[in-house]
Amino acid sequence: MRSRRMLFRLLRAGAVIYAALAVWAEVAHWRSSKRMLGTKSGTGGSQAVVVLGFRNRGSTANFINRYRVRAGIRSLPRTEDGVLVLSGGSVAGDVAEAVLMETYAREVLGYTGRILLDADSRSTWQNIANCVPLIEHADTIKIVSNSPHAEVAREYLWAQRPDLAGRLVRGDEHRFGEIVPIKIAATLRALLFRWRADVAAHPA
């Protein structure tokens, strides 16, 4: 009886902690999705949607890359003036993330729209630098990943090409209640990234 009570208390505590982390992550992602944007309205004209890849060890797109591709496609306007830019090199596997994402978009989702690839990037900074020639034509630009990562990428575009960053608008990668465990992990990772950046910028 005592062991059952202890198990129940542990489960209840775990549920409370998970719920608190989930709410925290949802709020953090929502706030990130609104930061580092330009002054464009996001309607009309041509659009480029940049989807940032995640390390992929296998020969098919992993869960995170599949989600990002779906979020990228739903971020595109229903016109012929949109281009999906898939960005990511072979960081963790033999095949570039961009290629794996394109295969998923074409063969699994049946996407028939225009796609451009950056299959060389090995960091977020390179993602942005290598995608600049592919998005310069666009009237508005969206960057899709998990929201904290997309915020960092938008920050890098402001640093590299502020003229293009002024065209940044929100993508549709953040929806409440989607991929909550991954949002929690991404928020924790973003905190660690920011902490390391602060330490590097202000060493003791």
Task: Please write the tens of the pLDDT for every residue from 100-138.
Answer: 999 999 999 999 999 999 999 999 999 999 999 999 999
Geometric angle at alpha carbon 60, from 55 and 65, rounded to 5°: 45
Mean pLDDT of 58-74: 96
Contacts with 157 (C-beta within 8 Å, 6 or more apart), sequence order: 128, 132, 141, 143, 164, 165, 168
Q: Give alpha helix (H) positions in the chain.
A: 2-32, 63-74, 97-103, 124-135, 147-160, 162-165, 180-201
5: left (phi over 0), alpha (psi -120 to 50) or beta: alpha
pLDDT tier at 198 (50, 70, 90 boundaries)? low
Mean pLDDT of 97-101: 98
Q: What length is written for the chain?
A: 204
Query: What percent of the chain is modeled with pLDDT above 90?
Result: 75
Write down the pLDDT at residue 43: 65
Structure tokens at 183: 């949002």
> Rounded to an integer, what distance in angstroms lies between the CA atom of residue 63 and that of residue 73?
16
Least reliable range by pLDDT among 2-16, 93-107, 136-150, 180-194:
2-16
| Cα radius of gyration rounded to whole Å, the chain | 19
Domain ranges for the chain, please list them.
3-201
Least reliable range by pLDDT among 2-6, 59-63, 73-77:
2-6
Mean pLDDT of the chain: 91
Which position has the token pair 């590097």?
Answer: 200
pLDDT digit string, tens, across residues 148-197: 999 999 999 999 999 999 999 999 999 999 989 999 999 998 888 777 66
Write down the pLDDT at residue 202: 47
Neighbours of 12 (CB within 10 A): 10
